[in-house]
Amino acid sequence: MKTILFSFLMALAVMLSGSDAVKASSFGFDPVNSTECLQKAIDSGAKKIRIDNTGKDWILEPIRLKSDQEIIIEAGVKIIAMAGKFHGRGDSLFLASKVRNITIRGEKGASIAMRKKDYQNKELYKHSEHRHTFRLMNCDDITIRDLDIRSSGGDGVYVSGDKDRNYSTNILLENLILDNHHRQGISIISVKGLTIRNCTISNTKGTAPECGIDFEPNQRDEFLENILVENCRFSKTMGDIVLATRLRTPCSITIRNCHMSNSYAGIMAGIFLSPEDPERAPPGFFRVENCVIENTRACAVRLRDHRTDMFELTLKNLTIHNPGGTAIQFWAEFPVSRRTGAAVLDNIVIEDKKNTGFLAFDTRKLPGAVLEKVSGDVVFNGEKFDVEQWIKQQRWDANEVLTDGQIADLQKLVPVGGAVEKEAPKKLKLRHDFRYLFACRKGVPVAFELELISVGKRSPTLDNLILTGPDGSRQWLELLATGEKLHHRFTPRADGIYYLDVDTRNMVMTLTPQENCIWSITPLPEKRSGARYLQSYGSPQNSRLYFQVPTGVKEFRISAFGKTKAIVEDSSGKAVMEIDNPGQDTIYTLKRESGKAEIWSILIKSSTAGLRMIEPLSPVFSLEKRNLLIGN
Amino acid sequence: MKKFSILLLIFAAGIILPAAPLRHNFTLVFKAEKGKEISFELESKNAGKQDRPIILKAVLHDDKVVELEALPINARQSYKLMPEADGLCTLPVATGGAVVTVHPGKNCRFAMHGGYDRSWKGDFIQLYRPPANTRLYFTVPAGVKEFQIEIGCNGPNTITIINGEGYEKVRLEEIQNKQFVSLKRENVEAETWAIIMEKCTHTGFRFLEPLSPVVAFNKNDLAVGK
């Protein structure tokens, strides 16, 4: 009886639709909640379903798609996610899981909207980045086209595999407007065969990474294979095309004829290798051709950790206007990526009135990294450059690993001594990893005050400040909360250097000496790269740092990065070198006639600075000359 | 059995610390001021097979028992206590296999001990995966030069004990199972020492007499036996 009734309903629906398609509304349209009606239509197994224009919006809770169907959203139909629903953190409007052969297409003016603002309201919803409009998992032969898709609580379209098969295949996304999504316009986790054509992606804002299209596999054995993005437009995202991957499978991605504007960056690719598995560089290619990238805030193209043995990287026929920062940036961050580059930059035209160079190589986190095997030609503000030659001129291809200055024996350091300077030193605000050094005498109390100053919204408490003595004693200081001051007084039990290691956890710290406090600072190795940068942030202008040039040294080097502006002065106070906003890690070579041990200084003009002393300099600084601890 | 009322609380503004989950039996000891409502939240998480809600009965200063809303497992609920006199309020908690984290609110200054059912004799105060470097302050009474703490660990733990000046007296690296730690000092004045849980899994501490079993995460919240 049920079968007969169902067949009758189907026949009626087909008849009402006036074609071979069934009308979805014939399954019991309810303008308050149309979910059951549409789900029944889908579950009917009809080959073609028309979501018809009833004059009312289709209000839906999550819908599950079935195989072998064409779903047509009629002209003017608005599908809207139901208010107060989608509380599950993975609730998507249309879920396609282990299905195949589906086309979903819209007629003129058809649109789908979710309720991003509601999902972002912490009073109403738990945080999630997975309330997608379309979630495709382990699917084959899926087409979504001719639709206006807006305001999801995750991605407009999400494509992945699942635990049974870790990819989807043959996906076409065409003529879509993907606007105002919470996390991404489109996320591609794992796919074999994908075309994204004639899509417009814009205004992604809510939760990181806020991209246009994000190619970001979760696992290293997933796939980004046979992918084409063409004739698409992007604007107002944090990265129009982002590739962030740890893949070891072959990658094949072509981006062509696209227009990107007004975003943080146009193309951002980061390819990260596990230190435990450094030999598994993915083969394949990533090509960007015939694209325009303009008015970005950070850069047009940023390529992170693209090791020379990885897949082919080609940027061809790009036009770049007003890139914000340097137009094309290579970054080297992880120790396994010490040799980066291997890219073709072919016929790239850049108009940039702000920056002095077209290419940057950022090694702040991996000093000593080299950029090599990068070729092609770039026209920068009308002047043509051979990229390979230009890199050679910058010495970025020089395989020279610089060694940080070292303290041979901490306990042999002694203060320079001398009179108290008339003017109190400026309070340098230090950031990240460093060590305070205190020259102490047994039984003579020492006191100082630490202040931890907030940067941004975080406010950690430092709970592991340990003062270590020359006798091996370890004294734990009281907890120091952000925004607080900590007074500490101790009586040394031995002569020698006491030290206090600090990791400011992105905050900044100052030290105010209070009693018998003869102190210097030395940077500690950066956790990932091991480089020793002394980093200041938000310091008053004209802070001065003293350092020693040892006996016999006539030529030495200092490295600086970022927005550092400083003047290096010799022992007589004469300015001998200017550091002016170096951007990437830059080496400055200094020479002198004298071979005597001397105290030089660096006058820091900028509020933010990063300085590194190269061997044979000692990496010890002080704010007052008399306090500088030098080798005995 | 000591009476709650003979305990005093040292109090001053304290630092808000990352909360450390407590497990099994313990008693929270709140500083009470007549008419000043104490508010706090309790958050429970399943760390075993416990699925029944945790029954909560607070004891006000005058031994009056107030039944609070039971705390379901995997939930976070707000609680309020209205002291009727100055002194202390206590809240014994038996989490079973679950863990409970205290998030202090208005007027909430608390210490705790590992006993349950109003016993001050004390037993293991147990923590479950506390944030790195969580400190547990305890008092060494005046005149005591030698004392013992029993430490029980489930998994490799690194624990440091510091004296009143912050100097490390003992550092136990990657310890497992139970062990007694004997400590000595020269000072004879009452001091506040601390256990620093640098890296801990499921860890318990038992303070042997003449130590008080009362401990606190915040030095200024430590309840001291008089």
**Residue B73 scores a pLDDT above 70:** yes
Q: Work out the average pLDDT over A537-551.
A: 93
Higher pLDDT: B203 or B120? It is B203
Residues of B in contact with A476 (CB under 8 A): 160, 162, 166-168, 194, 196
Q: In Å, how far is A505's CA from the nearest CA of chain B? A: 14
Contact B166 A478 (CB under 8 A): yes
Q: CA-nearest residue of chain B to A462?
A: B133
Q: CA-nearest residue of chain B to A464?
A: B133
Q: How far is CA A190 from the centre of its chain?
A: 21
Phi-psi region of B181 (alpha: psi -120 to 50; beta: other; left: phi over 0): beta
Q: In Å, how far is B196's CA from the nearest CA of chain A? A: 9
Number of H helices, E strands in chain A: 4, 50
Token readout for A100 is 């195949």
Per cent of chain A over pLDDT 90 is 76
pLDDT band at B3 (very low <50, low <70, confident <90, very high): very low
SS3 A294: strand
Cα distances (angstroms) measured from residue A190 to each of A179, A198, A288: 23, 21, 20
Residue A89 sits at φ, ψ, to 5 deg, of: -70, -15
Q: Work out the average pLDDT over A244-270.
A: 93
Mean pLDDT value across chain B: 87
Q: What is the pTM of this model?
A: 0.69
- The minimal CB distance from B167 to the residues A475, A478, A481 is found for A475
Predicted complex ipTM? 0.90
Q: Which residues of B touch A (CB under 8 A)?
A: 15-18, 132-135, 160, 162, 165-168, 171, 194, 196, 198, 219
SS3 A10: helix
Q: Work out the average pLDDT over A190-216.
A: 96
Q: Work out the average pLDDT over A262-272.
A: 90
CB atoms within 10 A of CB B173: 11
**Residue A9 scores a pLDDT above 80:** no
Strands A598-604, A543-549: parallel, antiparallel or unpaired by DSSP?
A: antiparallel
**Residue A296 scores a pLDDT above 60:** yes
**Inter-residue contact A500 to A492 (CB < 8 Å):** no
Q: CA-nearest residue of chain A to B219?
A: A478
Q: Which residues contact A151 (CB under 8 A, 6 or more apart)?
A: A113, A114, A115, A116, A117, A179, A180, A181
Per cent of chain B over pLDDT 90 is 69
Q: How far is CA A480 from the centre of its chain?
A: 29
Q: In Å, how far is B167's CA from the nearest CA of chain A? A: 4
Q: In Å, how far is B179's CA from the nearest CA of chain A? A: 23
Strand partners, A486: A450
Q: Which residues contact B156 (CB under 8 A, 6 or more apart)?
A: B174, B175, B176, B199, B201
**Residue A54 scores a pLDDT above 70:** yes
**Residue A401 scores a pLDDT above 90:** no
Residues of B in contact with A487 (CB under 8 A): none
Q: In Å, how far is B13's CA from the nearest CA of chain A? A: 12
Cα distances (angstroms) measured from residue A287 to each of A91, A253, B206: 34, 6, 64
- The minimal CB distance from A474 to the residues B16, B17, B168 is found for B168
Q: Which amino acid is at A137?
A: M
Phi-psi region of B186 (alpha: psi -120 to 50; beta: other; left: phi over 0): alpha
Contact A474 B167 (CB under 8 A): yes
Q: Quote the pLDDT of residue A1.
A: 47
Contact A477 B15 (CB under 8 A): no
Cα distances (angstroms) measured from residue A44 to each of A2, A134, A262: 13, 21, 46
Among B137, B167, B187, the residue to mutate for chain A (most A Cβ within 10 A): B167
Residues of A in contact with B17 (CB under 8 A): 461, 479
- CA B119/CA B1 separation, integer angstroms: 6
Of A498, A470, A467, A496, the C-alpha closest to A480 is: A467
H-type helices in B83-159, by residue range? none
Q: Which amino acid is at A273?
A: L
Q: CA-nearest residue of chain B to A478?
A: B166
Contact B17 A476 (CB under 8 A): no
Residues of B in contact with A473 (CB under 8 A): 167-168
**Residue A97 scores a pLDDT above 50:** yes
Cα distances (angstroms) measured from residue A333 to each of A280, A338, A368, A372, A531: 18, 8, 11, 15, 11
Residues of B in contact with A475 (CB under 8 A): 162, 165-168
CB atoms within 10 A of CB A616: 16
- The minimal CB distance from A477 to the residues B16, B166, B219 is found for B166
- CA A92/CA A86 separation, integer angstroms: 7
Q: Quote the pLDDT of residue A271.
A: 76
**Inter-residue contact A378 to A586 (CB < 8 Å):** no
Token readout for A55 is 């004059």
Q: Quote the pLDDT of residue A396.
A: 87
Q: Which residues contact A318 (CB under 8 A, 6 or more apart)?
A: A288, A289, A290, A291, A292, A293, A300, A301, A347, A348, A349
Of A326, A356, A361, the C-alpha closest to A343 is: A361
Among B74, B133, B217, B220, the residue to mutate for chain A (most A Cβ within 10 A): B133
Contact B165 A475 (CB under 8 A): yes
Of A329, A318, A316, A327, the C-alpha closest to A376 is: A316
Q: Work out the average pLDDT over A323-345.
A: 89
**Residue A421 scores a pLDDT above 60:** yes
- CA A392/CA A406 separation, integer angstroms: 29
Q: Quote the pLDDT of residue B9.
A: 45
Q: Quote the pLDDT of residue B13.
A: 45
Residues of A in contact with B132 (CB under 8 A): 463-464
**Residue A315 scores a pLDDT above 90:** yes
Residue A64 sits at φ, ψ, to 5 deg, of: -105, 125
DSSP label at A393? H
Mean pLDDT value across chain A: 92
Residues of B in contact with A490 (CB under 8 A): 165
Strands A312-321, A284-294: parallel, antiparallel or unpaired by DSSP?
A: parallel
- CA A535/CA A434 separation, integer angstroms: 9
| Residue owning tokens 């007499």 | B209
Q: Which residues contact B140 (CB under 8 A, 6 or more apart)?
A: B147, B164, B185, B190, B191, B192, B193, B211
- The minimal CB distance from B168 to the residues A463, A476, A484 is found for A476
Q: CA gyration radius for chain A?
A: 31
Contact A479 B135 (CB under 8 A): yes
Question: Cα torsion at A567, A569, A575, A577 (round to 10°)?
Answer: -50
- The minimal CB distance from B162 to the residues A461, A476, A479 is found for A476
Q: In Å, how far is B166's CA from the nearest CA of chain A? A: 5
Residue B6 sits at φ, ψ, to 5 deg, of: -90, 10
Contact A463 B135 (CB under 8 A): yes
Q: In Å, how far is B221's CA from the nearest CA of chain A? A: 14
Per cent of chain B over pLDDT 70 is 88
- CA A361/CA A504 separation, integer angstroms: 27
Q: Work out the average pLDDT over A433-441.
A: 97
- CA A554/CA A563 separation, integer angstroms: 28
A576-616 confidence digits (pLDDT tens): 999 988 877 788 899 999 899 999 999 999 988 999 999 99
Strands A383-386, A211-215: parallel, antiparallel or unpaired by DSSP?
A: unpaired
Q: Work out the average pLDDT over B25-41.
A: 92
Q: Quote the pLDDT of residue A157.
A: 98
Return contacts of B60-64, CB within 8 angstroms, 24+ apart. Answer: B60/B32, B60/B84, B60/B85, B60/B89, B61/B4, B61/B5, B61/B32, B61/B85, B61/B86, B61/B87, B61/B88, B61/B89
H or E stretch at A5: helix A2-17
Contact A473 B167 (CB under 8 A): yes
Contact B168 A479 (CB under 8 A): no
Cα distances (angstroms) measured from residue A540 to each of A310, A533, A582, A626, B148: 44, 19, 20, 21, 51
Contact B168 A473 (CB under 8 A): yes
Q: Quote the pLDDT of residue A13.
A: 52
Contact B167 A484 (CB under 8 A): no
Q: Which residues of A touch B (CB under 8 A)?
A: 461, 463-464, 473-479, 481, 484, 490
Q: Quote the pLDDT of residue A414.
A: 95
- CA A172/CA A186 separation, integer angstroms: 12
Q: CA-nearest residue of chain A to B198?
A: A464
Please tell me the least confidently modeled range out of A137-151, A474-488, B22-36, B120-134: B120-134
Contact B168 A481 (CB under 8 A): no
Among A461, A462, A463, A487, the residue to mutate for chain B (most B Cβ within 10 A): A463
Residues of A in contact with B194 (CB under 8 A): 476
Q: In Å, how far is B126's CA from the nearest CA of chain A? A: 21
Q: How far is CA A98 from the centre of its chain?
A: 32
Count of CB pairs separated by less than 8 Å, A with B: 38
Q: Quote the pLDDT of residue A279.
A: 62
B178-223 confidence digits (pLDDT tens): 999 999 999 899 999 999 999 999 999 999 999 999 999 988 888 6
Q: Quote the pLDDT of residue A524.
A: 95
Residues of B in contact with A463 (CB under 8 A): 132-135
Contact B15 A484 (CB under 8 A): yes
Contact A476 B15 (CB under 8 A): no
Residues of A in contact with B133 (CB under 8 A): 463-464
**Concatenated DSSP letters for A221-286?**
T--EEEEEEES-EEESSS-SEEEEE---S-EEEEEES-EEESSSEEEEEEE---TTSTT----EEE
Q: Quote the pLDDT of residue A423.
A: 82
